[in-house]
Structure formats: structure tokens, C-alpha cells
């Protein structure tokens, strides 16, 4: 297999990054695509108590084990299998288990800070920024965190005001300048999603044609 194509998808919390990734995965053969979420690489906090872990600023670059994330992306680029950590939002820590990720033709690298970190940016072939209004992002975050992560409304709002919003303004929004493509309104922008899917399918077809020629 030729070197994978790495597509970065970045944007603020609740912008619609995951929805876009899911729509792409639905439209592209599973055997051809792998996902690398920066969120899976929050640092191991086993040395901290649960209360201490609750106080961690999870929107700051220091919260991520970016060294391991970059190492794993480089291994996939070389054609090697990696063991992706599993992060448990309920206990604010990694699980002992890991997910085996094999190199695929297309690898999506998704996260809040994947454009902020130069080491990650340099490994990406295509960079897509998801740009969604702040009021929509906070509403989506409230719904997600209450329903999926069993958080209280008060804790979601407090975290948003104290860490999420400041981090967005300091780290995420400025990284938009590195994007090749800016998508408004996240996964609800079906025209943009369709264009991305068409581009990915075109890249897969080109890769297939190259392999056929190499066999001749």
C-alpha cells in the first residue's frame, strides 16, 4: 500500500467535526479509512485522584499526550499498526485497553488542536477547519455532555466559560489560518460534506489506478 493520505479536521468544541467524520465514514468503504482522534490522547492521569482529574483543563494543549499522537501518526505513515488509547470521559482518564489501528489509504486526524500543533500540521496533506457560530457550538456541547457524558448543566456552562471559550479564542480560532478548506455549520453543510466525500473517493480511485499500473 502506498503512503496514506492524512486529512486533518479541526474546529471548536461542538462545531460539528465528529458529524462530518461520521458522514465521510458512511460514504467511504470502511476498509479504506481510519480515524485518529486527538481526544483519545489525553494524558494518562492515573496518579491523580478523581477530584483532581475533574479540575484538569482539557481544552489546553498541555492536557494532550501530543508526543504519542505524533509518534503514532508517523508509524501509520510508515505502514505500521498502532495501539490507540481509549479515553473514558466518565472517569477522566485512559482505560487500560487500547484499539488496534491499521494503516489505511485515508486517515482522518480530528481534534480541537490539530492545526495549533505544528508537529501535527506538518503531517497533514489536507486541512479542513469547521467554522460554526459560538451560540450553536455551546448548545451542541450542552446537549452532548448532558446526554452522552452524564454531566450537569451547571458543570457544562462553568467549564465552557472558564476553559472552553478562552482556549477556543487563544488556540483554536487562530489556527483557522492554516486550513486549506473552511466549512461552515459543520455536518449540516451537506454540500461541503458531499464535496469532501467526492474528493476522498477521487483520491482512492487515483490510488487504485496507481496500484494497477504498478502490477503491470
Is beta strand 181-184 parallel, antiparallel or unpaired with respect to 126-131?
parallel
How far apart are the C-alpha atoms of 100 and 189, rounded to whole Å? 32
Give the pLDDT of residue 171.
96
Count the Cβ atoms, other than its own, within 10 Å of residue 202: 10
Give the pLDDT of residue 212.
55
CA 13 distance to own-chain centroid: 11
Query: 114-142 pLDDT, tens per residue?
Result: 999 999 999 999 999 999 998 999 998 89
CA Rg, the chain, in Å?
A: 18
How far apart are the C-alpha atoms of 57 and 77, rounded to whole Å? 30
Query: pLDDT at residue 100 above 80?
Result: yes
**Cell, residue 164:** 472552553
Domain boundaries, the chain: 5-215
Query: 152-189 pLDDT, tens per residue?
Result: 899 889 889 999 999 999 999 999 999 999 999 888 89
Please check whether residue 120 is in contact with residue 64, taking contact to mean a CB–CB distance below 8 angstroms: no
Q: How far apart are the first and last CA of the chain?
A: 16
**Cell, residue 109:** 486526524
Please check whether residue 141 is in contact with residue 164, taking contact to mean a CB–CB distance below 8 angstroms: yes
More confident residue, 215 or 119: 119
Is beta strand 126-131 parallel, antiparallel or unpaired with respect to 82-88?
unpaired
% the chain with pLDDT above 90: 73
Quickly state the pLDDT bin for 151 (edges 50, 70, 90): confident
Q: Which of 99, 107, 98 shows the shortest CA–CA distance to 79?
A: 107
More confident residue, 89 or 81: 81
Distances from the Cα of 83 to the Cαs of 69, 133, 145, 154, 216, in angstroms? 11, 35, 26, 35, 35
Residue with the three cell numbers 488542536: 113
Please check whether residue 80 is in contact with residue 103, taking contact to mean a CB–CB distance below 8 angstroms: yes
State whether the Cα torsion 136-142-143-145 is positive or negative. Answer: positive
Architecture of domain 5-215: 3-Layer(aba) Sandwich (3.40)
Write down the H helix ranges in 122-176.
134-147, 153-159, 165-167
Give the pLDDT of residue 1.
61
Query: 24-52 pLDDT, tens per residue?
Result: 999 999 899 999 999 999 999 999 999 99
How far apart are the C-alpha atoms of 159 and 215, rounded to whole Å? 55
**Cell, residue 105:** 489509504
Amino acid at each position: 500500500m502506498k503512503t496514506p493520505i492524512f486529512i486533518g479536521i479541526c474546529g471548536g468544541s461542538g462545531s460539528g467535526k465528529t458529524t462530518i467524520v461520521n458522514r465521510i465514514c458512511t460514504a467511504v468503504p470502511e476498509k479504506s479509512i481510519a480515524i485518529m482522534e486527538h481526544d483519545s490522547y489525553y494524558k494518562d492521569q492515573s496518579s491523580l485522584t478523581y477530584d483532581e482529574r475533574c479540575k484538569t483543563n482539557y481544552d489546553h494543549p498541555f492536557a494532550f499526550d501530543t508526543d504519542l499522537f505524533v509518534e503514532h501518526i508517523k508509524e501509520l505513515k510508515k505502514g505500521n499498526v498502532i495501539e490507540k488509547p481509549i479515553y473514558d470521559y466518565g472517569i477522566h482518564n485512559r482505560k487500560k485497553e487500547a484499539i488496534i489501528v491499521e494503516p489505511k489509504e485515508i486517515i482522518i486526524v480530528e481534534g480541537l488542536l490539530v492545526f495549533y500543533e505544528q508537529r501535527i500540521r506538518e503531517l497533514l496533506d489536507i486541512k479542513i477547519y469547521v467554522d460554526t457560530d459560538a451560540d450553536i457550538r455551546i448548545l451542541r456541547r450542552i446537549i452532548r455532555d448532558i446526554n452522552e457524558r452524564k454531566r450537569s448543566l451547571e458543570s457544562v456552562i462553568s467549564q465552557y466559560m472558564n476553559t472552553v471559550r478562552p482556549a477556543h479564542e487563544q488556540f483554536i480560532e487562530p489556527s483557522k489560518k492554516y486550513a486549506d478548506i473552511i466549512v461552515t455549520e459543520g455536518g449540516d453543510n451537506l454540500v461541503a460534506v458531499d464535496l469532501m466525500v467526492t474528493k476522498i473517493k477521487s483520491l482512492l480511485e487515483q490510488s487504485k489506478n496507481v496500484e494497477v499500473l504498478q502490477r503491470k
